[in-house]
């Protein structure tokens, strides 16, 4: 399919500093990742830990914090994972879905959906 990149701005929850860079869009990843040194430089403190399964099958415990993501003029909130230094920033599927964005496999670009998906059960 090829690689898809998107310009993303991340602001830690309750923070003022921003991190803007091209992120690799990874539809096989749940959460988004930034090198831990970049997050520490922004003053981001970990809020928790979660076990993640890596592409090679290893399971690792990684720290995360809450953040605001801006992609293609849309805003979404979610976890930012403290990745190892040197890792390329990754944009995961939860932010894509929250921002109503999808990957076009032909153009290898992100596209805005005309509507977000919402299914609700309404009690009568």
pLDDT, tens digit (0-9, with 9 covering 90-100), for 104-113: 989 999 999 8
Let me know: does 17 contact 11? Beta carbons within 8 Å. yes
* Strand ranges inside the chain, DSSP E: 5-12, 19-25, 32-35, 48-53, 59-71, 74-83, 90-91, 101-104, 109-112
Q: Is 102 left (phi over 0), alpha (psi -120 to 50) or beta?
A: beta
CATH label, 5-112, candidates 3.40.50.720, 2.40.70.10, 1.10.10.10, 3.40.50.2000: 2.40.70.10
pLDDT at residue number 79: 95
pLDDT at residue number 121: 63
For residues 122 and 67, which has the higher predicted lDDT (pLDDT)? 67
As a whole-number percent, the residues of the chain with pLDDT over 70 amount to 92
Burial of 115 (0-12, 13-18, 19+ CB in 10 A): exposed
Average pLDDT, the chain: 90
pLDDT tens digits, one per residue of 38-76: 999 998 999 999 999 988 899 999 999 999 999 999 999
Integer-rounded Cα radius of gyration of the chain: 15
pLDDT above 90 (res 37): yes
pLDDT tens digits, one per residue of 83-98: 999 999 999 999 999 9
pLDDT above 60 (res 1): no
pLDDT at residue number 120: 62
């Amino acid at each position: 399919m090829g690689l898809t990149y998107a310009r993303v701005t991340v602001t830690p929850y309750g923070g003022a500093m921003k991190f803007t860079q091209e992120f690799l869009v990874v539809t096989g990843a749940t959460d988004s990742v930034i090198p831990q040194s970049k997050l520490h430089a922004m003053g981001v403190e970990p809020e928790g830990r979660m076990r993640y399964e890596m592409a090679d099958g290893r399971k690792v415990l990684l720290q995360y914090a809450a953040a605001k993501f801006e992609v293609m003029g849309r805003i979404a909130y979610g976890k930012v994972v403290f990745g190892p230094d040197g890792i390329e920033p990754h944009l995961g599927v939860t932010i894509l879905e929250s921002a109503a964005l999808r990957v076009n496999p032909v153009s290898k670009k992100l596209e805005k959906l005309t509507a977000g998906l919402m299914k609700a059960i309404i009690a009568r």
